[in-house]
């Protein structure tokens, strides 16, 4: 039996990557199989195949191997791209398991029926993303027309990794310790330049 690879991808949300992995691990436990490796990617579907590690996926999968994904939309940014990738994998003798759609694709096994189902499901997923995007744009346009300020107010200070040591940093600065020394010898994380920026924006230097 060949190896089993799991491919998980999300645009930005790390939590969603964890959810996908947990779903696949539960499938592994339930089916009594062993997953060889996870290929995890945090990248938009608009990124290149190399950035989404699709090329790596194709290089690592061989005849007799199995690919597991939680849903079709993880594999591509359009119906055409998803179908093209599936067709390439099936031609190479790779079995594909798609958990949410409950599909098992394998060359020569209900091939036409399965690919027809993939086409429809992928198309519907693509249409749903388009409708969500359109509704979001319309909602934002409506808020803008009502005079609602979108995004963070100008001058908003973001949270920082240094916030937990703010009082300590201020105290060391008052003792005359340089930002470079604080970063390297007291905090031992971050960089002197990022700490300097933090000190400047929070006005922590003694006047």
Greater model confidence, 112 or 187:
187
How is 169-195 classified by DSSP, letter by letter? HHHHHHTT--HHHIIIIII-SS-HHHH
The pLDDT tens digits of the residues spanning 70-109 come to: 988 888 877 778 888 888 888 899 999 999 888 888 876 6
Backbone angle region of 181, left / alpha / beta, with phi > 0 → left and psi within -120 to 50 → alpha: alpha
Taking Cα atoms as reference points, which of 110, 36, 45 lies closest to residue 68? 36
Give me the pLDDT at residue 32, please.
Answer: 93
Confidence category of residue 18, pLDDT binned at 50, 70, 90 = confident
Beta bridge partners of 41: 9
Q: Is the pLDDT of residue 62 over 80?
A: yes
Least confident residue range of 23-37, 66-80, 100-114: 100-114
- How far apart, in whole angstroms, are the C-alpha atoms of residue 136 and residue 64? 43
Identify the H or E element spanning 124.
Answer: helix 111-145
State the sign of the Cα–Cα–Cα–Cα dihedral 29, 96, 10, 142.
Answer: negative
**Residues 6+ positions from 81 with CB-CB distance below 8 Å:** 75
- How far apart, in whole angstroms, are the C-alpha atoms of residue 139 and residue 154? 22
Greater model confidence, 187 or 118:
187
Is the separation of the CB atoms in 99 and 24 below 8 Å?
yes
Q: Considering only CA atoms, give the Rg of the chain.
A: 24
Q: Find the helix packing angle between 111-145 and 79-91, rounded to 10°.
A: 150
3-class state of residue 95 by DSSP: strand
Mean pLDDT value of segment 183-196:
87
Q: What does the block give as tokens for 137?
A: 């744009």
Give me the pLDDT at residue 150, please.
Answer: 67
- Among the residues of 12-53, which ranges form H helices? 14-31
- How far apart, in whole angstroms, are the C-alpha atoms of residue 89 and residue 62? 9
Measure the CA angle with vertex 106, ends 101 and 111; round to 5°: 85
3-class state of residue 41 by DSSP: strand
């Amino acid at each position: 039996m060949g190896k089993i690879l799991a491919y998980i991808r999300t645009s930005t949300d790390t939590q969603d990557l964890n959810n996908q992995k947990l779903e696949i691990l539960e499938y592994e436990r339930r089916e009594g199989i062993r997953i060889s490796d996870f290929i995890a990617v945090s990248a938009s579907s608009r990124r290149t195949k190399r950035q989404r590690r699709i090329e790596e996926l194709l290089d690592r999968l061989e005849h007799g191997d199995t690919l597991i994904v939680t849903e079709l939309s993880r594999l591509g940014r359009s119906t055409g791209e998803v179908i093209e990738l599936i067709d390439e994998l099936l031609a190479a003798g790779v079995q594909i398991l798609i958990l949410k759609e409950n599909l098992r694709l394998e060359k020569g096994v209900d091939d036409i029926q399965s690919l027809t189902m993939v086409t429809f499901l992928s198309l519907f997923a693509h249409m749903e993303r388009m409708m969500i995007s359109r509704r979001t744009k319309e909602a934002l346009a409506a808020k803008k027309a009502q005079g609602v300020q979108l995004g963070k107010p100008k001058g908003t200070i973001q949270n920082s990794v240094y916030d937990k040591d703010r009082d300590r940093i201020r105290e060391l600065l008052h003792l005359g310790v340089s930002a470079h020394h604080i970063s390297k010898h007291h905090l031992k994380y971050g960089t002197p330049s990022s700490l300097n920026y933090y000190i400047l924006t929070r006005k922590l230097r003694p006047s």
